[in-house]
Amino acid sequence: MSDDVQKVILQLPASAEYVDIVRLNLYGIASKMGFTYEDIEDMKVAVSEACNNSVLYAYGQKDGVVDVIFEVGAKSLSITVKDEGESFDGLDSSGERMTLHDKELSDVQVGGLGFYLMQALMDEVSVVSETGKGTVVTLTKRLNFTEEKV
């Protein structure tokens, strides 16, 4: 196990127009690592889901920030999307919003489709959400080298 993980950190306004920047960075990093086109497309969809969750639900109309951390390892890429949204402090407590925020994964139904999509597209998905502290989504994809020469 090598500890030489390189990190690329983006801090972006929690606004939908910045999600493209995350996708472009992901494309550049994943291409350099040798991921296939299909894997990169899968990762782009999963990362977009994670970013959109933060952008749409974490901050409401407030000026928020989303941190995106790419951890480049020898055999895998992990992308962490963090927000510090405290959006539910001032909202009604009906919990009718379609989001991963402030919900246990077992409670997530319609709004959790993004989570299941991320799980289907990535090798590992971790979602940690704390009321008042925001949500951290970590997506990991391993490089699958084709072993043609056995």
pLDDT tens-digit profile of 89-121? Answer: 333 334 444 445 555 554 444 346 788 899 999
Q: What is the CATH code for 6-142?
A: 3.30.565.10
Spans of all domains in the chain: 6-142
Q: What angle do CA 107, 112, 21 make, to 5 degrees?
A: 145
Q: Note whether 44 and 27 are within 8 A (CB).
A: yes
User: Residues, the chain, total?
Assistant: 150
Tell me the pTM.
0.77
Cross-strand partners of 111 = none
Neighbours of 128 (CB within 10 A): 12
Q: Which of 98, 81, 74, 63 is nearest to 25 (CA)?
A: 81
pLDDT in tens, 39-76: 999 999 999 999 988 877 656 656 788 999 999 999 99
The better pLDDT of the pair 86, 44 is held by 44
User: Which residue in the block uniquely carries the two structure tokens 């001032």?
Assistant: 90
45, 121 in Cβ contact below 8 A? yes
DSSP state of 78: E
Q: Which residue has the higher pLDDT, 130 or 116?
A: 116
